[in-house]
Amino acid sequence: MGHMLLFSLIIGLASALVLIPFSKNKSEEKKQPKSKFLIAVIILLFLGVFVFYYVTNLDRNLSSLWILAVIITAAGAVLATGKERIIKAVLFLASLAIAVIFLSAFLFNAGEKYEIAKMDVKTEIETFDENETPASVPPQFARNKMKKAFGQVPNTSYYELGNLQIQKVNGEYVYIAPVEFSGFFKWLNGDETPGYFTISATDSSANPKFIKAEMVYTPSSYFSKNIERHIRMQYPQYIFHGDVQLEIDDEGKPHYIRSYGEFVSARNGFEVKGIVAVDPKTGNTKDYPLKDVPSFIDGAVSPEVVSLQNSYFGNYIHGFWNSKFGKKDVKLPSDEGTEANVSPIFDENGEMFYFTDFTSPKEGVDSMLGYSLTNSRTGEATYYTGNLEESYMDSQGALQIIEKKFIEKKWDGEMPVLYNFYGEASWLTPVLDANGFLQNYFIVSAANPEISVYASTPNEALKLYKTALQRGGGTVDGSSKAEEKQISGTVVRVYKERNGDFTSISFLLNNRQSYVISSEISPMAIYLQEGDLVKVKYLDTGESFLPAKELVIEGLE
């Protein structure tokens, strides 16, 4: 608070000296304005500056005063006379020139923005390991379950559920949402919030848990206890971008964080440099450069920052004017993400990335031009072009397929994420009903939209998808570690299931291993019986049911 008071006083005094005329006018008897008037103007300007910066939480750098400088110098030049008017007119022209530079900066720094957001380019992400479970519970569904469990919160009427975000805590992927005050008077009476909710991001049947953890400095608190204002008071000159986020350490202790950085040029654009972390109970703060961010923090780079960088990368490859007119090589980031138009996902090492797909600026085109993964701790990003010989459907196209598939039930998809399943670029999308409850998981090939399946869990959908790819002639290459093998044995059990125009045959051999094959690949497989001697060529993916590529039944071939 002391910094703000001093800043406001200095600006108020300087503004008053520019605004008030000191030169002698022929109609005036006194050479200088009355001291009481000067003091009154200083006080009014001081109060105005103080209120403005307190309410807006704007950074207190001199460059943030450019609008005030234009107004004050213009008024000062008008009120002054003689040589004083000339001096103040020069000040006005200087402040006006600075204003023009600030207002037009976006026209000239597009190249710098692109260089900041420039990504490594690769063809395709590695194949997904079928033994892993993707973090595929949609946030809307998780939020609905948390709301239904809100009775666990003491003095429930005081609070409401805060923003939801995903994180890895103690090796598990979970959604976290703080309990927030539901209004000003509830804050006056409550003083502190009681804790936060967590729920699994991989198991849709899991129930939310309420964790007690008193928090005084929160987004829903007021005055000096408001978390964003508290951070600004501690770091008056830092440039922040994005909302505050709640991060939980492995002991369950909550921490609020916010990304900070610097302008690209002339108070325009943003480049992330680090985070500020706050203990919401004590208010203790500490800033960390990105390279020194504590290991428990997954989202050091806020989703808003990543969304901004994606915009730079997609739009400004050939400068600002090209992004508006020629649009050569321009690609637009999708707005289908779950957090600020991006979707957080985790790789096989447990590292969090923000996923975004890019599409053409041409209207009516649902073909994907590529997709990006941005490391949520470092901000480093990779752009994947996909197989250049194929045309991939974008996330909007996947959502449209789901909408048409369940048009009578009025179900919609949420949080589409592109995976490499069995060597096939594929969209995995949770499907929700009109009330926001999870109904199934839908998988559709990005290159061959006619190949699609859905099931109650991601793993069940993956099994069906494997068979669908075999039927549709897709590439079932298994995981990145899959190896093609061959075995002979006796059939112990057989299960046949009709899937569209073909039959899926699952069978158990006397080696206690199960296999699955489609009749489209091996038509004679429909005659398979218990006791048959067979030769099987399969992919060793490590799954319970291994995908067979060839089946020979002794006596029938």
Superfamily of domain 482-551: Nucleic acid-binding proteins (2.40.50.140)
Give dist(CA 69, CA 55) in Å, integer.
20
Q: Are 416 and 403 in contact (CB under 8 A)?
A: no
CA 377 to chain centre: 12
Q: Is the dihedral of CA 119, 124, 128, 129 positive or negative?
A: negative
Which residues are CB-contacts of 357 (< 8 A; sequence separation ≥ 6)?
333, 334, 336, 368, 370, 371, 372, 394, 395, 418
- Could you tell me the two tokens for 556? 């029938």
Give dist(CA 140, CA 21) in Å, integer.
61
Query: Which residue, among 481, 482, 495, has the nearest Cα to 526 in the 3D structure?
Result: 495
Phi and psi, residue 89, nearest 5°: -65, -40
- More confident call, 26 vs 104: 104
Per-residue confidence (pLDDT) for residue 311, from 0 to 100: 97
Per-residue confidence (pLDDT) for residue 500, from 0 to 100: 61
Entry pTM:
0.84
Query: Which residue, among 188, 205, 206, has the nearest Cα to 197 in the 3D structure?
Result: 206
- Looking at the predicted structure, is the pLDDT value of residue 463 above 70? yes
- For residues 50-60, give the mean pLDDT: 95
Per-residue confidence (pLDDT) for residue 28, from 0 to 100: 53
pLDDT in tens, 74-109: 999 998 988 999 999 999 999 999 999 999 999 999
pLDDT in tens, 258-312: 999 999 999 999 999 999 999 999 999 999 999 999 999 999 999 999 999 999 9
- Looking at the predicted structure, is the pLDDT value of residue 227 above 50? yes
Per-residue confidence (pLDDT) for residue 423, from 0 to 100: 81
Least confident of 7-11, 134-138, 232-236, 242-246: 134-138
Give dist(CA 260, CA 245) in Å, integer.
13
- Looking at the predicted structure, is the pLDDT value of residue 482 above 90? no
Type of residue found at 508: L
- More confident call, 171 vs 90: 90
Per-residue confidence (pLDDT) for residue 477, from 0 to 100: 53
DSSP 8-state symbol, 54: H
Give dist(CA 401, CA 432) in Å, integer.
14
Q: Is 502 left (phi over 0), alpha (psi -120 to 50) or beta?
A: beta
Spans of all domains in the chain: 1-106, 137-214, 393-470, 482-551
Angle of helix 110-117 relative to helix 303-315, nearest 10 degrees? 120
- Give the other-Cβ count within 10 Å of 334's Cβ: 21
Least confident of 36-40, 379-383, 428-432, 475-479: 475-479
Give dist(CA 390, CA 272) in Å, integer.
35
**What average pLDDT does the chain have?**
90
- For residues 57-75, give the mean pLDDT: 95
- Give the other-Cβ count within 10 Å of 149's Cβ: 16
- For residues 410-439, give the mean pLDDT: 90
